[in-house]
Amino acid sequence: MSNEEMKNVAAVCPNFYWKLFQSTFLISAFTVGGGFVIIPLLRAKYVDEYGWLSDKETLNLVSIAQSMPGVVAVNASIILGYRMAGIPGALTALAATILPPLITLSSISCAYDWFAAHPYVHYALKGMQCGATALIVNVAIDLLQKQWKKRLLWPLTIIAGTFVANFFFDVNIMLLVVIDGILGLLFLRSAEYGK
Amino acid sequence: MIYLTLFWEFAKVGIFCVGGGYASMPLIQAAVVDTYRWMSLGEFVDIFTISQMTPGPIGINAATFAGMKIAGIPGAICATVGFCTPSLILGIVLANLFFRYGDIGPIRGILNGLRPAVVALIAAAGISFVILALWNVETLPEDMAAVDPLGVIILAGSLAAVRRKVGVIKLLAGTGVAGLVLGLIQQSLH
């Protein structure tokens, strides 16, 4: 697809920026569960309800959002916003995605400081810490199983090396990801390593 | 200057977290707990817990909450904006590459190297969370027998529940109640 074929949705849709901001803001404000829940909702709005984007193009753009660094829901809103209306579109969608958590979490953070010292709240938080620990352990197990099933030497070596360096030798995490990124650039460019 | 430091640290998290909200946790933990000691591991796990229960993307929730705890509302804004800045720049670059060539080229290689790295980092963060849950300390305990029975019971129950695909909200509400009940029982026994 070339740039010439791209239509600027903002130019043909009245009140585009307001609609974009409002719909994205509401989705971000009321959706619990992160990117994998938010993206289907964004798609339903932009594709099915407003007809701003085609289904296929949205899928392609979302797959870029999922493979690039950062928070998937934020990436998706940036890329979709950019596709529809250039940089102003990207900024509008980004603001609409991060404002609700900024408002909600700032209020919750004040309440946390207020309540966390209370012994009963402390017990409940301790219980919830265990629940959250189970969640991240579960994610780690799923990811490890997924990588293990692929039986590819390079990714498994990177996993083992990174884990040992980080957990047992306290090697700086940023240094590790830079090294692993360079290894990827040099050795992992073939499609079998994707996904 | 705390605000610039927050912006920069969270921008680094934004550059290197590949694979969604969970991937950002070990990176945020490395910055706010290990490097700058802005908070304890326990407080960080609380942030992680609450970020899961509140609406919005988990990574953004965690960045906002951490920034807020460290330096108030301006801190929350710096952390969140810092976190998203790399996405904004990279998103525009990648979208253009894609519109022009239908592919995102060599960047794929870098991302293919980062994906397994993130698996290792999430696993390491998971283990440090487990140590905290079971022994209430931040690094491998010297006395392995000094385990917290409350932590063992709730963590074992939660793992069983998570493997059976119990929803996040149900799980965290349940573990909150269990923590309160078991904590009160433990308190009355002492």
Q: Which residue has the tokens 């069983």?
A: B160
Q: Do B76 and A32 count as a contact with CB atoms less than 8 A apart? A: no
Helix (H) or strand (E) holding B21, with range, is helix B21-29
**Predicted ipTM?**
0.84
**Cβ neighbours, 10 Å, residue A68:** 23
Q: Do B46 and A116 count as a contact with CB atoms less than 8 A apart? A: yes
Percent of chain A whose pLDDT exceeds 70: 94
Answer for the pair A32, B54: CB distance below 8 angstroms, yes or no: yes
Angle at A62 between CA B61 and CA B24, to 5 degrees: 30
For the stretch B10-62, pLDDT in tens is 999 999 888 777 889 999 999 999 999 999 999 999 999 999 888 888 899 99
Give dist(CA B109, CA B111) in Å, integer: 5
Q: Do B113 and A158 count as a contact with CB atoms less than 8 A apart? A: yes
Give dist(CA A180, CA B121) in Å, integer: 12
Give dist(CA B41, CA B34) in Å, integer: 9
* A155 contact partners, CB below 8 Å, separation of at least 6: A147, A188, A193, B112, B115, B116
For the stretch A38-55, pLDDT in tens is 888 888 899 989 999 988
> Taking all residues of chain A, what is their mean pLDDT, rounded to a whole number?
87
Determine the average pLDDT of the residues in B138-153.
86
Percent of chain B whose pLDDT exceeds 70: 99
Contacts of A108-111 with CB under 8 Å at 24 or more apart are A108/B50, A108/B54, A108/B65, A109/B64, A109/B65, A109/B68, A109/B69, A109/B76, A110/B68
Answer for the pair B78, B3: CB distance below 8 angstroms, yes or no: yes
Of B57, B120, B151, the CB nearest to A159: B120
For the stretch A151-181, pLDDT in tens is 899 999 999 999 999 999 989 888 998 999 9
Give dist(CA B131, CA B68) in Å, integer: 26
Give dist(CA B13, CA A118) in Å, integer: 32
Determine the average pLDDT of the residues in A171-194.
87
Please tell me the predicted confidence (pLDDT) of residue A34: 67
Q: Do B116 and A185 count as a contact with CB atoms less than 8 A apart? A: no
Give dist(CA B110, CA B99) in Å, integer: 20
Pair of tokens at residue A61: 């753009």
Determine the average pLDDT of the residues in B130-141.
88
Please tell me the predicted confidence (pLDDT) of residue A2: 40
pTM equals 0.83
Q: Which residues of B touch A139 (CB under 8 A)?
A: 22, 122, 126
The Cα of B159 is separated from the nearest Cα of chain A by a number of Å equal to 5
